[in-house]
């Protein structure tokens, strides 16, 4: 019994460490100041969603990481629920808002995955960002969209360079901006 409790506690610590790394990466000031991500609650949701997506993408197809990546996604959704409540959304409205935000997240994941999997990820990703993480009407060929798309590709590559063992220990490489 105590062994199972210890394992759950250790898993929670690993998930919390991975999630903290994702939050730290999503809060980098250049994302907002230079790359056009709105510094609003929704903009911060979008930035964190990008990083959660990159971790899910890194872990996809690896059976050893599948459960852990699901736990990180669950942690993201739990954090999102708490944030909505902190913003003053009433208990009656939280499930409806969560459903909408989860739908937004999965729609973005599909768009980003399609861009990554295409023949030219940089322009495809830059085109996928306006109306998602960047405000509608942002020029996909503009500096902000291209810079954010390049950052996402570099962040993906950094996460891909993280070994399975490191991820399972709660350590994750991310892209740090100057």
CA angle 36, 120, 126 (to 5 degrees): 15
Exposed/middle/buried for 80, CB within 10 Å: 0-12, 13-18, 19+? buried
What is the average pLDDT across 18-29? 97
51 with 22: CB under 8 angstroms? yes
Confidence band for 8, pLDDT divided at 50, 70 and 90: low
Residue 134 lies in a domain: yes
Tell me the two tokens of residue 67: 């459960």
Residue 155 lies in a domain: yes
pLDDT digits (tens, 9 = 90+) for 104-141: 999 999 999 999 999 999 999 999 999 999 999 999 99
Residue 73 lies in a domain: yes
Number of structural domains (the chain) is 1
Phi-psi bin for 164: left (phi > 0), alpha (psi -120 to 50), beta?
alpha
Which position has the higher pLDDT, 5 or 121? 121
Residue 174 lies in a domain: no
Tell me the two tokens of residue 169: 């220990």
- For 12, the domain range is 7-168
Residue 173 lies in a domain: no
């019994």: which residue's tokens?
1
Residue 93 lies in a domain: yes
pTM strictly above 0.85: yes
Residue 178 lies in a domain: no
Is residue 62 helix, strand or coil? Answer: coil
Residue 1 lies in a domain: no
Q: What is the dihedral of CA 93, 99, 100, 102, to 10 degrees?
A: 140
């Amino acid at each position: 019994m105590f062994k199972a409790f210890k394992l759950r506690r250790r898993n929670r610590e690993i998930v919390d460490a991975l999630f903290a790394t994702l939050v730290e990466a999503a809060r980098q000031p250049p994302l907002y100041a230079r790359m056009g991500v709105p510094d609003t609650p929704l903009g911060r949701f979008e930035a964190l969603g990008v990083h959660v997506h990159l971790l899910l993408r890194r872990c996809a197809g690896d059976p050893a990481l599948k459960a852990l990546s699901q736990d990180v996604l669950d942690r993201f959704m739990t954090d999102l629920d708490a944030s909505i409540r902190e913003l003053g959304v009433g208990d009656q409205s939280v499930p409806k808002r969560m459903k909408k935000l989860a739908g937004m997240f999965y729609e973005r994941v599909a768009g980003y995955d399609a861009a990554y999997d295409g023949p030219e990820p940089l322009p495809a990703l830059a085109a996928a960002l306006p109306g998602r993480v960047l405000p509608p009407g942002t020029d996909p060929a503009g500096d902000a969209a291209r810079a954010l798309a390049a950052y996402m590709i570099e962040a993906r590559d950094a996460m891909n360079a993280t070994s399975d063992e490191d991820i399972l220990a709660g350590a994750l490489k991310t892209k740090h901006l100057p």
